[in-house]
Amino acid sequence: MNGSARVRIEKMVYGGAGLARVEGRSVYIPFTLPEEEILLAPRSETSEEGRIQSVLEPSAQRVAPGCMHFGVCGGCQYQQASYEEQLRIKETILRTMLERNGVPVPEKLQTHSAEPWGYRNRIRLRLDSFEGRWRVGYVMRGSRVFMEARECPIAAPLLWRAAQAFVASSQLVPAQSREVEFFCDASEQTVQLSLSLNAAMEEMERESPKQFRKLCDAIRVSVPELSGAGLFVRPVTASTKTSKRGVPAEQAEEIEIVAWGEPKLLYKVDALGRKYTHAIARGGFFQVNRYLVQELVELALGERQGGLAWDLFAGAGLFTQALVDRFQQVIAVEVAERAFGSLRDFVAHSSHQAVRETCVGFLRKRVASTAMRKPDLIVVDPPRAGLGEELCGLIAKVEAKEIVYVSCDPETLSRDLRKLLNSGYRLAELHLVDLFPQTYHMETVTVLQR
């Protein structure tokens, strides 16, 4: 195709683009909606995706984006769609991907959603020094190029207020700063700051710790909710024994070298008729949608109870705390150091266990043991890479009566479900939980029984 072409968007695909056909060739066009007629710009020699020249017949579900950076920023893909249409698109994509992999989808696919703006309890911003002042931002879509951000409507307002205070204190930001992260509780009563330097310990400038403490003091003046902060450096070498929620070992966790204020954020979750408080260390994993954490816990646990439960990829214990109330013994497995610290502190002085080990290592030992006690329930919440063939095989050998699989990637979910279904499980429930409005990402809770 050398010139422009009129095309009709057939459907949306996972990743955020719409699918159209030009001269028998599939073309993926971002920022479109199903059934729209698009004037496609001439094909670029530097990009495989299609570009909109103009929207000839817009969908009735097309709306004005809620962010000034939409289309340039790499974070959001669906702001052109009404929220009802976003949910419909995600439901269709999830069903299609599962069925393509031979997973029978229940006729009733239950979808759970909440407020689609201001939902994020955590943002991680890139830093750039320009003409003597620091700027915060993200990366431009399809590149690694820095984009200065002047707003982020999907972030909790407290997070963006903290980011603005950070920029206002530019003169105190250490010279080697690379990224800054803000993490707040659901009710925006407290916020933590994590500043990452592009330096290892021996490379760090001598004044950086002192500057960092002054920076935190300055931010606290305009953001009194700032309860704690940490300054982080790169590890010198990555330990072959360390990984972060399944991430390859070479991406070892950063090292906190300076602490200011409280070391952890207390995150309260009211679920299943109880009030839980999670002490989250800076950099520790926690679910990002402050409006749906409660519902996620309730979907994963429901009325389940029994003797023994395993919580694999347990993080800081989001599900572990509720499991402890319902099972006689809970074994929670997590490898990431910061998350495990919270987990270990919670189960201390109880009959429950926190195990710092990879999930595959834990399962290999259990399956090989002749004295293995079969759990009534296994909860798994892996990273986007999913479980994979070996973990699925090991879990199948355990033969737990029920598995709750919490997933953030429908591609790896469909692959893993096929393996587990082939091993004798049946799909009892499937829930789509929209933890990531305005983006193509989706969370699911799947219940398997045998």
Query: Hey, which residues are catalytic here?
Result: 408
The amino acid at residue 215 is L
Q: Is 363 exposed, middle or buried (0-12, 13-18, 19+ CB in 10 A)?
A: buried
Compute the chain's Rg from CA coordinates: 23
Distance from C-alpha of 302 to C-alpha of 334, rounded to nearest angstrom: 23
Establish whether 298 is an annotated binding residue.
no
Determine the distance from the C-alpha atom of residue 262 to the mean position of all C-alpha atoms in its chain, rounded to a whole number.
Answer: 24
Contact by Cβ (8 Å): 229, 194: yes
Establish whether 35 is an annotated binding residue.
no
Establish whether 313 is an annotated binding residue.
yes
Distance from C-alpha of 346 to C-alpha of 342, rounded to nearest angstrom: 6
Establish whether 334 is an annotated binding residue.
yes
Q: Please give the annotated binding residues, written as ranges.
A: 287, 313, 334, 381
Q: Please give the annotated binding residues for S-adenosyl-L-methionine, written as ranges.
A: 287, 313, 334, 381
